[in-house]
Amino acid sequence: MIELRDVAYSYGGGELFSGLSLVLAPGSFHFLTGPSGAGKTTLLKLCYGDLVPTAGEVALFGETTRGMARDGLALTRRRIGVVHQDCQFLDHLSVAENVALPLSVAGRRAEAEAYLPDLMAWVGLNRQAGRRPPELSGGERQRAALARAVIMSPDVIIADEPTGNIDWEMSQRLLALLVELNRMGKAVLIATHDLNLIRAAKAQVAARTLRLKGRQLMMAGAEL
């Protein structure tokens, strides 16, 4: 579904990484780790077409992102749900309206209304649905961001440090949701520093751990 072939990326200075290849198959579960600044967020952005590689190719559902027209890219991106590191919301809208935003923007407001109650219940936020985003705790924000990422029924979920600022219990809850999505057949890719989270996940799913270090992507050892 997502394939990186011999990819390099540079923001203008030296290359962050090069010769990097990766395939995210349907139903796969990957973690991405590596030191701060190694390029994890950059790699995720390449995977969802927010950045185009400076060398090599990224193919999303069989189509390379280089030269993809804006409309085509926007349509393809609907098949990838992204939970961003800072998970920003529109503070003048309710939590439920924020979660429904991708569907509303796509002109599918009726579907959003039909689907929202179940989705809010699934992430455990029914009681918070009418609140404004600034009233949410860190863990609630992450779950709202996950709900927003899955409302378009994407085939792939990409999450950047989803448990960065939340406690262990809440991390476990978020992980359980991601595992459930994976069991429904969705490919999951999570960038994280949290080795305990990776260990907890490996007890539940066949997750692979990729490590970005020294400009290269490696499969992490069995100790993780």
Ligand X SMILES: Nc1ncnc2c1ncn2[C@@H]1O[C@H](COP(=O)(O)OP(=O)(O)OP(=O)(O)O)[C@@H](O)[C@H]1O
Name which of 34 and 102 has its Cβ closer to ligand X: 34
Q: Residues near 87 by Cβ (< 8 Å), separated by ≥ 6?
A: 141, 142, 144, 145
The residues in 14-33 that bind ligand X, with binding defined as CB under 6 A, are: 16
Candidates 14, 36, 62, 127; binder of ligand X (CB under 6 A) is: 36
CB of 51 to ligand X, least distance (A): 9
Is 147 a binding residue for ligand X by CB under 6 A? The answer is: no
Rounded Cα distance, 171 and 175, in Å: 6
Candidates 11, 23, 113, 206; binder of ligand X (CB under 6 A) is: 11
Q: List Cβ<8 Å contacts ≥24 apart for 218-222.
A: 220/33
Is 169 a binding residue for ligand X by CB under 6 A? The answer is: no
- 8: how many CB neighbours lie within 10 A of its CB? 15
Is 211 a binding residue for ligand X by CB under 6 A? The answer is: no
Candidates 10, 18, 41, 64; binder of ligand X (CB under 6 A) is: 41
Q: What is the DSSP string of 58-78?
A: EEETTEESTT--HHHHHHHHT
Is 42 a binding residue for ligand X by CB under 6 A? The answer is: yes
Name which of 24 and 38 has its Cβ closer to ligand X: 38
Sheet holding 187-191, edge to edge: 80-83, 156-160, 187-191, 29-33, 208-213, 216-219
* Options 23-31, 37-45, 108-116, 166-174: segment touching ligand X (CB under 6 A): 37-45
Candidates 1, 3, 34, 120; binder of ligand X (CB under 6 A) is: 34
User: Would residue 154 be called left, alpha or beta, if left means φ above 0 and alpha means ψ between -120 and 50 degrees?
Assistant: beta
List of residues contacting ligand X (CB under 6 A)? 11, 16, 34, 36-42
